[in-house]
Amino acid sequence: MKNIVLTAMAASAVLVSCGTVQSLVQNTFPYTANVLVSTGVPADKEVSSTATATNVQTWFGGNNNAKIKDVRISEAKISVASPSGGNLSAFKSVKIYVSSNGTGERLIASRSNMSNNSSSLNLDLNDTGFLDEIVKSSGLTVRTVYELKSQTTSDMNIKVALNFSSVPAK
């Protein structure tokens, strides 16, 4: 009986330490962009806004030899930055694409049939595989494509917040 308890305790300690090590070696790095939705944007028409990721580039400096691998999108969220008290009820759909110099564009997150009156919303992540080549290249570009259900009554500033995760390369 004593051996069973000791074995169980040892196994628990190993499992907990493996999870701790994984969380210590896994990196998460952010990217944010602001998208202006002006009052002139028509409803039921897809509109695109592009931003170059300068804060992601500070992590790697466009260094294709950065010591990371297995880069994936881990979180994508949109929120109303202004006007104060604004909500996402005017939005019909949102899609987020990433690309960089010399790479094709990849859809990483989206949400359609939006019926949300809150000021923020987590997007559905697309299983795009690894994004190493895109994130480690120079000129990472994030393109936000959105469609409105109805025109907005005032300009809106939408914040797009993305988190990428990776593990150290050997």
Largest distance between two CA atoms of the chain: 74
3-state class of 55 per DSSP? helix
Is residue 3 one of the residues assigned to a domain? no
Is the pTM higher than 0.85? The answer reads no
Asked if residues 101 and 139 have their Cβ atoms less than 8 Å apart, the reply is yes
Question: How many structural domains does the chain have?
Answer: 1
Is residue 14 one of the residues assigned to a domain? no
Is residue 1 one of the residues assigned to a domain? no
Our CA dihedral for 128, 133, 137, 139, rounded to 10 degrees, sits at -20
Is residue 21 one of the residues assigned to a domain? no
Whether the predicted pLDDT of 122 surpasses 80: yes
Is residue 4 one of the residues assigned to a domain? no
Which range, 65-69, 118-122, 135-139, has the best average confidence (pLDDT)? 118-122
pLDDT for 108: 96
Q: Which residue do the tokens 């990776």 mark?
A: 166
Mean of the pLDDT values across residues 31-49?
A: 91
- Is the pLDDT higher at 99 or at 135? 99
Question: Domain limits at 58?
Answer: 28-168
Is residue 12 one of the residues assigned to a domain? no
Mean of the pLDDT values across residues 73-78?
A: 95
